[in-house]
């Protein structure tokens, strides 16, 4: 209880200091279908959220590129060069395959969080990605690698902690060229900030093949009580379906 009280006081302080800060995705532009602010229950994350200040490149919280291994740096350089040369390399999402984690959490489209008994589900507008986060249980003992990995969650105070592993190596971490391997381990810490007007996701990424040490990225999302998730069918008209691993403009 004391924890919650101090969180509230901190919340008021943050509001006072950041009330002038808005991103385009913060702007509510339709009739409200949910309360103007997310509920006062810090563990109720349900509703629609929209990334703020989307950046296709995921920087670490230190404001620079992640701590690449030589391999990670080489893969980054190859992707940046291909893009410059006009023949971008294709990731899974270019083929309308699932975006993967954490990539899907850094997408310029709204997401809807739905919380039920034993599971938290995130419905992503982009390419109808779905995340299933099973609460308060361990990962299965054996995991076949997947695009989205296997996610389990629990509450640490008022922070939802999501632990994800079991990835294939076909998705990227960002849209530019930070990639990962099958050993990647992602831990997200998601909590409400600014009195329920926003959500913070502190993402810890570990993959010894591509990074010399674990690193963090921070993504925030605005509460959007006016939005419903729209239909997004990548497969319908993918103008940039890659050929031989490279995106082709048509």
Partner 1 sequence: MSGRVGLSLVCCLLALTAAAAACAQAIYNPPPGQNFEGVWLIQGDHSAVKTIDGRLPPLTREAATRYAAAIRARRAGKPDFDTIQTCKPHGFPRILFAAFPIEVLQEPTQVTFIHEVHHMPRMVYLDLTLPRLDDMDPNWMGLSAGHWDGDTLVVESQGFNDLTTLDAAGLPHSTQMRVGERIRKLDADTLEDIVTITDPKWYTKPWSTRVTYRRQPGLRLKEYACMDSNPEVRR
Of 84 and 142, the one with the shorter C-beta distance to partner 1 is: 142
As measured in angstroms, the least distance from the Cβ of 202 to partner 1 is: 20
> Which one of 62-70, 71-79, 205-213, 242-250 is the stretch in contact with partner 1 (CB under 8 A)?
242-250
Q: List the one residue from 195, 202, 216, 225 that touches partner 1 (CB under 8 A).
A: 195
157: left (phi over 0), alpha (psi -120 to 50) or beta: left
Q: List the one residue from 88, 102, 177, 196 that touches partner 1 (CB under 8 A).
A: 196
Quote the CA–CA distance of 151 and 135 in Å, as a whole number. Answer: 9
Pull the structure tokens for residue 121.
Answer: 């589900």
Of 145 and 208, the one with the shorter C-beta distance to partner 1 is: 145
* Cβ proximity of 90 and 83 under 8 Å: no
Q: List the one residue from 19, 61, 183, 212 that touches partner 1 (CB under 8 A).
A: 19
CA 92 to chain centre: 16
Contacts of 140 (CB under 8 A, 6+ apart): 150
Q: List the one residue from 9, 70, 85, 136 that touches partner 1 (CB under 8 A).
A: 9
Q: For the segment 157-176, give every residue that binds partner 1 (CB under 8 A).
A: none
Of 36 and 77, the one with the shorter C-beta distance to partner 1 is: 36
CA atoms within 13 A on the CB side of 45: 30
> Omega into 142 within 30° of 0, i.e. cis?
no
CB atoms within 10 A of CB 15: 13
207-237 as b/e: b if 16+ CB within 10 A: beebbeeebebebbbbbbbbbeeeeeebeee
DSSP letter, residue 151: E
Quote the CA–CA distance of 78 and 220 in Å, as a whole number. Answer: 29
Per-residue mark of binding to partner 1, 67-96 (x: CB under 8 A): ----------------------------xx
Of 104 and 203, the one with the shorter C-beta distance to partner 1 is: 104
Our finding on whether 21 is near partner 1 (CB under 8 A) is no
Q: Which residues bind partner 1 (CB under 8 A)?
A: 1, 4-5, 8-9, 11-12, 15, 19, 33, 36-37, 40-41, 43-44, 46, 95-98, 114-117, 119, 121, 123, 128-130, 132, 134, 146-148, 155, 195-197, 228-229, 231, 233, 235-236, 241-244
């Amino acid at each position: 209880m004391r924890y919650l009280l101090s969180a509230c006081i901190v919340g008021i302080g943050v509001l006072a200091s950041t009330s002038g800060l808005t991103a385009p995705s913060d702007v509510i532009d339709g009739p409200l279908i949910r309360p103007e602010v997310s509920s006062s229950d810090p563990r109720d994350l349900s509703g629609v959220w929209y990334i703020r200040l989307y950046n296709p490149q995921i920087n670490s919280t230190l404001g620079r590129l992640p701590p690449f291994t030589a391999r990670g740096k080489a893969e980054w350089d190859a992707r940046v060069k291909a893009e410059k040369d006009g023949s971008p390399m294709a990731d899974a999402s270019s083929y309308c395959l699932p975006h993967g984690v954490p990539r899907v959490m850094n997408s310029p489209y709204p997401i809807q969080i739905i919380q039920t008994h034993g599971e938290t589900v995130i419905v992503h507008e982009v390419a109808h990605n779905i995340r299933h986060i099973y609460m308060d249980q361990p990962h299965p003992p054996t995991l076949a690698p997947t695009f989205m990995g296997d996610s389990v969650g629990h509450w640490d105070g008022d922070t939802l902690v999501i632990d994800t592993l079991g990835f294939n190596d076909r998705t990227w971490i960002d849209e530019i060229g930070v990639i990962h391997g099958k050993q990647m381990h992602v831990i997200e810490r998601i909590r409400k900030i600014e009195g329920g007007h926003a959500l913070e996701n502190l993402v810890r990424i570990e993959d010894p093949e591509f990074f010399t040490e674990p690193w963090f990225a921070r993504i925030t999302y605005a509460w959007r009580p006016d939005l419903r998730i729209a239909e997004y069918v990548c497969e319908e008209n993918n103008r940039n379906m890659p050929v031989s691993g490279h995106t082709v403009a048509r």
